[in-house]
Amino acid sequence: MNMNSKKPVTGILILTIGTLHTALGVVTWVSGPPMPSVDQTAYSFWFTVFGVLAMVLGVAVIEASRAIGHVPPTVLVGVAVTFVFGVLVLPASGFWSLLVPLATGTIGWLSSRRSSQVRREMSPEGHLG
C-alpha cells in the first residue's frame, strides 16, 4: 500500500475540531455569550478565529501527511504543547479533544519510523560491510 493512499486521519480530525469550533463561535455570537459577564463580541471573535486557524492547520496536516506519509513531529509537539497549556488553564474545556488527533498522529509517525527503519535494514545497502 502506498503511504500517500492512507487516509490523513489526524488532519481530518483537526479540521473537524476547527469546523465545530468555528460553528460554535458563530452560534455564540448570534445567541449571546455563555455567561452574562462575558463580552460577547470578544468571546465569539476569538472562538471563531481559533476555529479558522485550526481548520487551516487541519488542511496543512492533511497535505503534509499525504506528502511524507505521516504528521511532522514538529506539528505533533505544537499540538501537545497547546493541549497541555490549554488543559492547565481551562481544565473543563474542549482542549481534551486534541488528545484524539495527537494520539493518531503520534501512532502514525511511530509506525512510519518503524517502517522506514525496517526498509533500511532490509535494503542491500544496509548489509554492506
Question: Alpha-carbon distance 72 to 109, whole Å?
Answer: 7
C-alpha cell at 71: 504528521
* CA-CA-CA-CA torsion sign (24, 25, 29, 35): positive
pLDDT: is 6 or 100 the higher one?
100
Distances (CA, A) of 55 to 50, 107, 108, 116: 9, 21, 20, 30
Residue type, 2: N
Residue whose C-alpha is closest to residue 7's, from 106, 104, 128: 104
Residue whose C-alpha is closest to residue 98's, from 116, 3, 106: 106
Q: Per residue in 2-18, pLDDT tens?
A: 344 579 999 999 999 99
pLDDT: is 121 or 53 the higher one?
53
Task: Check residue 51 and give its pLDDT.
Answer: 96
Q: Where are the domains of the chain?
A: 3-127
Going by pLDDT thresholds of 50, 70 and 90, the confidence category of residue 36 is low
Q: pTM to 2 decimals?
A: 0.82
Q: Interhelix angle for 99-122 vs 9-31, to 10°?
A: 170
| Mean pLDDT of all residues belonging to the chain | 87
Alpha helices in the chain (DSSP H): 9-31, 40-68, 73-89, 99-122
pLDDT beyond 50 at 1? no
